[in-house]
Each structure stands twice: as C-alpha cells, then as structure tokens.
Amino acid sequence: MRKPEGAHRWRMIFTVLGAVVFALGSFWLLEVMNKSSQDVNGSKKLDEPDYFVTNFSMVRMDLQGKPSYIVSGAKLTHFPADDSSNIDQPFVRKISPGVPPLNMNAELAHIDQNNTRLQLSRNVVIDRIAGPKTQNLTLKTEALTIYPDEERMESAVPVDLVSGRSHVTGVGLNANNATSVVDVPNSVRIVIPPRTPVQAPAAAPAQ
C-alpha cells in the first residue's frame, strides 16, 4: 500500500469527473425563471428577494425527448439586484444512457454571475456507483465552485475523493474537463491498494 504524504502538487486523470461539470448545466433551467421574474414585482426593492419557490423539482429533456437532468430543492430564492438565486437543500441527478446516474447533494447552492457560476456549500457530496464502463465515484467537501460553461470546478478547502479503489485527500481542488486533469495542490495524500495477485490454477493430481 502506498501512502505518499506532503506532496506539493499531484495530478491524475479522472475523466469521470467531467460528468460532474457537465451535469451542472441543469441549473441553466433557472435562467428561464429568473428572466421571467423581471416582469413580476417590478417595484420591489432590489436588495430583497422578488420571488421564491418551495419544494420544487424540474426536469430537463435531451434532444431525444428523454429526461437528462432532475433538479430539486427545498426552497429557491431569487434576488433581482444581481439576478442570483439561492437553493436550500439542492439535489441534482444527471441521467446518462448506459451509466449509473450521478447525484449531487449539498445544504446550499448559490447561482450568480449571469448563471455561469454555481457555488455548493455545506456537506457537499457527489457520488455515482460503479457501472460496466465507469468506476465508483465519491467526492466530499464543504465548498465547491463549478463553472459549467468553462467545464471546470474548484475548491479551496479540504477534499476527499474516492474513484475506484483509489483514495485521495488534500486541500484544494482544480478539475478541468477539457484536459481531463484533476489537481489537488496542497497536503495531498494518495492511497492506492495493491492489486490482488492472480493465483495460478491448481496442478492436476498425478496419475
């Protein structure tokens, strides 16, 4: 078992994490709601919420008319001052043909910068069970910022990542789907269990 500790910089390809960035395109559904709210409560103070939705659930379809994303939450609150939104208890499920669904949970989500940045915070957990073509994936952290248009995500706090049988912990995360590279820059520790040796078949008994 290898346990490298204290490495300043570590890079490893986890193409499966690209699905995390891609999945957050589902939050673009909120743009329709945000824009439509401009015609509602026009006289309301900009520093106050102009609408909220409780116990909501939205489904985005793919080009073939099949469900692609499911986005839900306990409460969505929109702020007209900067056209941002908060979601309490957000849950996102990315549905892709041939692979298990990718689930994302947190206690809070904040969407801003013209719907180009999503900030997940408090008990952020991203997970997917193993499938015929994918390894199991679990990412845990307390804060994760995702830029779906740029296909990247980042964190400045401790992260805990399990992919297949590999376990990585460290401080900070920079993941780029375009390059399929995940960078854990500080206090990184990697645990890669040894491969199970292949046992030779038992010899046939002498005649």
Q: Which residue has the higher pLDDT, 102 or 13?
A: 102
Q: What is the pLDDT of residues 146-159, one digit of tens each?
A: 887 777 889 999 99
Q: What is the rounded CA–CA span in Å between residue 21 and residue 179?
A: 13
Q: What is the rounded CA–CA span in Å between residue 56 and residue 63?
A: 23
Q: What is the pLDDT of residues 179-191, one digit of tens each?
A: 778 889 898 888 8
Specify whether the CB–CB gap between 125 and 139 falls below 8 A: yes
Work out the average pLDDT over 128-155: 86
Q: What is the rounded CA–CA span in Å between residue 34 and residue 180?
A: 32
SS3 50: coil
Containing 36, the helix (H) or strand (E) segment is helix 29-36
Q: What is the pLDDT of residues 36-52, one digit of tens each?
A: 555 555 545 667 888 88
Q: What is the rounded CA–CA span in Å between residue 110 and residue 27?
A: 10
Q: What is the pLDDT of residues 16-39, one digit of tens each?
A: 455 555 555 445 555 545 555 555
Specify whether the CB–CB gap between 70 and 59 falls below 8 A: yes
SS3 21: helix
Q: DSSP string spanning 129-171?
A: ---SS---EEEEEEEEEEEGGGTEEEEEEEEEEEETTEEEEEE
Q: Is the dihedral of CA 118, 124, 128, 134 positive or negative?
A: positive
